[in-house]
């Protein structure tokens, strides 16, 4: 292994298991890891939460690399998970999960099976072969309807308002337990709404862009004054790789931009980037939605040297450029 310097931390080239590596965030992480010289094992079940052909597209470049191995399997299946450890693994980034707040209201059992049972399967198999270092994808949703802003890692997060959020909080708790009992080094990263090229098609910015572009009305839940901290995917990947390189003990970090925008204004920014008008269909607020998210990122800045740099207008312009080239003109 040859040490190199990345983001200020010593980095040794390693073989990394990325669960959910065919998804939105996972495929960007794999891009970055291959680029910096790591070997990658991607574990994904290509489920149909959204069109699996999108996920196949996400990994098509990765598959050209000899440093990349794909293992198709399901976190819920112990033998599938064990297959990830047939070769050496130095570190795990655990991104595979059922994501999304609203669908979790309809199918909480599935969220528990994948996000909790699946996580236990992964950690137990990791212990068997002595893999110690894990980065776990948590979520800003653990803050529930927290009124104090910005959200800090030390805030009480005992009141999740969706099954999805409850599974992410429980994932953090399990991570702590495995750290305590088995000595695993685990860093939990609370991602604040991530967007950018390859964003999941049902997520706000992607969905709004599509509807505005097609001249269709877009459903806006609530009066448009809810605020979100949107994080550009390249900034998230910067935070994930820094967390990987400093992974020791048990830690929880917020990864956001630490800037918020109102929903109504976000829609205007997307419409502007597309050069079109948004037709808004106002609907009642949805159960499970939170009024605002806003990350205090001082801990990640100080301890990880996390340095997000993409404001939402710049990020939306990048997204729209990608959307027009890759989705609209190449469906």
By beta-carbon distance, which residue lies closest to ligand NAD?
Answer: 23
Among 103, 118, 144, 288, interactor with ligand NAD by CB under 6 A? 118
Q: Is 164 a catalytic residue?
A: yes
- Provide, rounded to whole angstroms, the least separation between the CB of residue 122 and ligand NAD: 9
CA distances from 169 to 117, 190, 307 (A): 14, 10, 25
Detail the DSSP E strand segments found in the chain: 3-6, 9-12, 15-19, 39-44, 68-72, 91-94, 133-139, 185-191, 194-195, 217-221, 227-228, 231-232, 250-255, 261-262, 279-283
Binding mask 29-48 for ligand NAD (x = CB under 6 A): ---------------xxxx-
Among 99, 261, 297, 320, interactor with ligand NAD by CB under 6 A? 99
Among 14, 121, 146, 193, interactor with ligand NAD by CB under 6 A? 193
- Provide, rounded to whole angstroms, the least separation between the CB of residue 126 and ligand NAD: 15
Does the protein bind ligand NAD through residue 74 (CB under 6 A)? yes
- Provide, rounded to whole angstroms, the least separation between the CB of residue 137 and ligand NAD: 4
Cα distance between residue 75 and residue 308, in whole Å: 31
- β-bridge partners, 228: 261
Contact 20, 74 (CB under 8 A): no
Does the protein bind ligand NAD through residue 137 (CB under 6 A)? yes
3-state secondary structure of 314: helix
Binding mask 4-33 for ligand NAD (x = CB under 6 A): ----------------x-xxxxx-------
Burial class (CB in 10 A: 0-12, 13-18, 19+), 19: buried
What angle, 0 to 180 degrees and rounded to 10, lies between the N-to-C axes of helices 118-128 and 163-182? 20
Does the protein bind ligand NAD through residue 200 (CB under 6 A)? yes
3-state secondary structure of 135: strand
Binding span for ligand NAD by CB under 6 A among 8-16, 74-82, 83-91, 174-182: 74-82
Binding span for ligand NAD by CB under 6 A among 32-40, 69-77, 124-132, 286-294: 69-77
Q: Which of 164, 253, 306, 323 is catalytic?
A: 164
Q: Which of 271, 265, 257 is nearest to 308 (CA)?
A: 257
Distant-in-sequence, close-in-space partners of 181: CB < 8 Å, separation ≥ 6: none
Does the protein bind ligand NAD through residue 131 (CB under 6 A)? no
Among 95, 126, 188, 218, interactor with ligand NAD by CB under 6 A? 95
Binding span for ligand NAD by CB under 6 A among 85-93, 94-102, 260-268, 308-316: 94-102
Cα distance between residue 255 and residue 236, in whole Å: 7
Residue positions annotated with a catalytic role? 164
């Amino acid at each position: 292994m040859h040490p190199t310097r990345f983001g200020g931390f010593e980095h040794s080239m390693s073989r990394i298991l990325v669960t959910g590596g065919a998804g939105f965030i996972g495929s960007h992480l794999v891009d970055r890891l291959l680029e910096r010289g790591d070997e990658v094992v991607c574990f994904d079940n290509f489920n149909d939460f959204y069109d699996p052909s999108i996920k196949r597209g996400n990994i098509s470049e990765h598959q050209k690399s000899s440093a990349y191995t794909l293992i198709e399997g399901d976190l819920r299946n112990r033998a599938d998970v064990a297959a990830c450890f047939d070769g050496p693994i130095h570190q795990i980034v655990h991104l595979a999960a059922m994501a999304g707040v609203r669908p979790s209201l309809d199918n909480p059992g599935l969220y528990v099976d994948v996000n909790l049972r699946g996580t236990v399967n992964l950690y137990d198999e990791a212990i068997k072969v002595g893999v110690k270092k894990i980065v776990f994808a948590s979520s800003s949703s653990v803050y529930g309807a927290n009124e104090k802003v910005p959200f800090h890692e030390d805030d009480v997060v005992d009141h999740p308002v969706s099954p999805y959020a409850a599974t992410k909080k429980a994932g953090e708790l399990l991570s702590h337990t495995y750290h305590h009992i088995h000595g695993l080094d685990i860093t939990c990263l609370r991602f604040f709404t991530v967007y950018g090229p390859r964003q999941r098609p049902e997520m706000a910015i992607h969905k709004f862009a599509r509807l505005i572009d097609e001249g269709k009305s877009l459903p806006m839940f609530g009066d448009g004054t809810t605020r979100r901290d949107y994080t550009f995917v390249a900034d998230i990947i910067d935070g994930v790789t820094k967390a990987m390189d400093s992974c020791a003990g048990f830690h929880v970090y917020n990864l956001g931009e630490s800037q918020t925008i109102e929903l109504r204004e976000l829609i205007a920014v997307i419409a502007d980037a597309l050069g079109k008008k948004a037709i808004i269909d106002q609907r009642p607020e949805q159960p499970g939605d939170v009024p605002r998210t806003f990350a205090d990122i001082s801990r990640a800045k100080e301890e990880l040297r996390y340095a997000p740099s993409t404001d939402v207008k710049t990020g939306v312009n990048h997204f729209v450029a990608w959307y027009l080239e890759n989705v609209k003109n190449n469906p």
